[in-house]
A and B are shown apart, each in its own frame.
Chain A
């Protein structure tokens, strides 16, 4: 007899192949886009020379006494006259702060925020994003060897993630990706310059705002520490790589807590299903809603408050050769069985209780909550709970 799980698994096995030419088109379009970004700067005579300021915070040295292109010059190389002008305006903030980490010297050159500051439009779906924050950084190797030219094959092998971060918002979820980010990159005189852009961060100006520059193309949770109590974000001093973290200066008068809250709400909605969440809410029957509300609030910590163990189902499990925990149990009118990966339940191998599946039921009374408790001796105790 085929179970619903087996039926779904079989019917939904990925079996659709993208067309060969579709993949070729993507590679070609991506290459074209990269090529557009690979611009060689002409020698620029006007360069920034900032006053030398030597500070020291932990292991990070901060100074600003090097010659770099100014943000406006980088914007000019991006063929963006409006952004060039924006970086020349009084609204632009020059930072010129360097942090040396993981073999690279990262300098945050400057930032500007506002509406319609660029000639290039950013679209997300059908929505135009023209109220933006731009930040320019320079990245060079600490050993003074030049960064690969954009025409070199090795260009891009060492990638960096550049993004604003906001106090109180977990950076793993709230970063340039969810802020509709993008970037322009160029290499001049062995120094990599990047203009990172995203939605305008000014509404958050009443909080601590940061600019992170870290190794890799993705946000790396190991690079930074998010303090859930204070909401503050800091560098992980033990991180093996580049994990610069600058303060992102924003005009405090532009802070708008209501707009900020609305923006975060919009991101949350997008990430969790957008309007479809509310649209489909009414599609659940009263009974389903009751069950859904009950199971959604369950956590390992509050389980005992809402449910009671069925001692007859208690059993001690040890992982099989594939690392799976296999179990079977029977109750008055039903039986249950399953297999679950030990690694998935206890990735950190810390003893404690984890919730497994909720078994099928038509009413609240018949819900079965499967639990797994990792014991000190490495065995796992399986136990079914029923609603109180």
Chain B
């Protein structure tokens, strides 16, 4: 990857990849490391798996692979350092509503917090497809290539994840009635 390609990738996909890293690692320092390692690995590699020539898929797959390799280290760090929980520094997504009140923003933040906590509590087997599907807007076919599992399995895991989350977030869903 040339420097120009790297700059373009950061410009186009930086936010998406960083959000993914942050939700994978769950801690800012680890997320920064993971994000940095992902782009450096992409630069270092001569080439990679051809995910329908989709650089975002490529970067996500690198991030995922690095994270899996380092997961044990992260877990160990968490145990000894007890780093700040990511949930406490959540930023509220822009829902396009300019007139939202402070109270409304607080409620929205609380809602986001509850959803993210519920997602983070899922086993990785379900959590990662959810992040790729809802956060990164990858299709089931693309997720199947990134995770190298059959498309039917992706759909099945998304289904199970939704089912669990629906139950877990029953209160939030009812509040929105």
Does the CB pair A274–B68 fall under 8 Å? Answer: yes
> Across the interface, do B48 and A175 meet the contact criterion of CB distance under 8 Å?
yes
**A278-317 near B? 1/0 per residue, CB < 8 Å:** 0111011000100110011111000000000000000000
A357 to B36, CA, bound (A): 35
Instruction: Name the one of B47, B95, B139, B159 contacting A175, with C-beta atoms under 8 angstroms.
Output: B47
Contacting A at CB under 8 A, from B1-39, are 1-3, 5-7, 10, 14-16, 18-20, 22-23, 31-32, 35-36, 39
Contact A31 B3 (CB under 8 A): yes
Nearest CB to that of A269 among chain B residues? B68
- Residue from the list A1, A10, A26, A194 in contact with B177, Cβ < 8 A: A1
Bound together, the chains give a CA A280 to CA B163 distance in angstroms of 17
Would A15 and B58 be within 8 Å (CB), given that A33-B40, A125-B69, A176-B47 are in contact?
A: no
Q: List 25 A-B contacts (CB under 8 A).
A: A2-B173, A4-B162, A10-B95, A18-B15, A23-B14, A27-B10, A127-B69, A173-B148, A176-B45, A176-B47, A177-B45, A177-B47, A177-B48, A181-B46, A182-B46, A217-B46, A273-B124, A273-B128, A277-B125, A291-B159, A298-B152, A344-B139, A357-B159, A358-B159, A362-B163
Q: CB of A11 within 8 A of chain B?
A: yes
Interface residue? B153 (CB, 8 A): yes
- In whole angstroms, what is the CA distance A27 to B14 when docked? 12
Residues in chain B near residue A54, CB distance under 8 A: none
Q: Which residue of A lies closest to B46 (CB)?
A: A183
Query: Complex Cα distance A205/B35, Å?
Result: 37
Contacts of B149 in A (CB 8 A): 272
Instruction: Tell me, yes or no, whether A22 is within 8 Å of chain B by CB.
Output: yes
Interface size of A by Cβ–Cβ distance < 8 Å? Answer: 84
Max count, chain B CB within 10 A of own CB: residue among A10, A11, A27: A11
Contact assessment for A7 and B53 in the assembled complex, using a CB-CB cutoff below 8 Å = no
The reply to whether B116 and A11 contact each other, CB–CB distance below 8 Å, is yes
8 Å CB interface, B86-136 against A? 91-95, 111-112, 115-116, 119, 123-126, 128, 130-131, 134-136
Q: A283-B123, A344-B141 given as contacts; is B40 within 8 A of A26 (CB)?
A: yes
On whether the beta carbons of A360 and B50 are closer than 8 Å, the reply is: no
Decide if B84 is an interface residue (CB 8 Å cutoff): no
Asked if B156 is at the interface of the complex by the 8 Å CB criterion, the answer is yes
Closest-by-CB residue of B relative to A159 is: B2
Q: Which residues of A contact B123 (CB under 8 A)?
A: 276, 279-280, 283
Question: Would you give the shortest CB distance from B22 to chain A, in whole angstroms?
Answer: 5
Q: Tell me the complex Cα distance, A216–B46, Å.
A: 9
Q: Tell me which of B39, B152, B173 contacts A7 (CB under 8 A).
A: B173
Given A11-B111, A217-B46; 8 other pairs, CB 8 A cutoff: A15-B15, A183-B46, A217-B47, A219-B49, A270-B68, A276-B71, A295-B159, A355-B152
B47 contact from A12, A30, A219, A272, Cβ within 8 A: A219
Q: Name the contact of A163 in the complex, choosing from B35, B47, B139 (C-beta under 8 A).
A: B47
Please judge, given known A-B contacts A25-B36, A29-B40, A271-B148, whether A7 and B2 are in contact too, CB under 8 Å: no
What residues of A have a CB within 8 angstroms of the CB of B126 in the complex? 280
Q: Is the interface of A mostly helix, strand, loop or mixed?
A: mixed
If A10-B95, A22-B36, A292-B160 touch, does A273 touch B152 (CB 8 Å cutoff)? no
Q: Does A172 contact B (CB under 8 A)?
A: yes
B177 close to A272 (CB less than 8 A):
no
By a CB distance below 8 angstroms, the chain B residues around A14 are 15-16, 18-20, 135-136
Interface string of A169-180 (1 = CB under 8 A from B): 000110111100
A332 adjacent to chain B (CB < 8 Å): no
Q: Contact between B50 and A10 (Cβ–Cβ < 8 Å)?
A: no
- Give Cα A157 to B70, complex, Å: 32
Q: Considering the complex of A and B, which 10 residue pairs feature the smallest CB-CB distances, nearest first? A: A125-B69, A161-B47, A14-B19, A280-B123, A11-B115, A2-B176, A295-B156, A177-B48, A271-B148, A156-B2
A236 CB–B CB distance under 8 Å? no
**What separation, in Å, do the CA atoms of A12 and B32 have in the docked complex?**
18
- Whether B6 pairs with A280 at a CB distance below 8 angstroms is no
Q: Do A268 and B93 have beta carbons less than 8 Å apart?
A: no
Q: Chain B's nearest CB lies how many Å from the CB of A22? A: 6
- B149 nearest CB neighbor, chain A only: A272
- Alpha-carbon distance A277/B125, docked complex (angstroms): 6
Given A25-B36, A27-B10 in contact, is the A15-B93 Cβ separation under 8 Å?
yes
Nearest CB of B to A157, in Å: 7
Instruction: Give Cα distance in the complex from A160 to B18, angstroms.
Output: 28
Q: In the complex, which residue of chain B has the Cβ closest to the Cβ of A11?
A: B115
8 Å CB interface, A206-243 against B? 216-221
Task: Please measure, in the bound complex, the distance between the C-alpha atom of A37 and the C-alpha atom of B153, giving whole angstroms.
Answer: 42
Distance A355 CA – B156 CA, assembled complex (angstroms): 12
In angstroms, Cα B47 to Cα A162, docked, is: 8
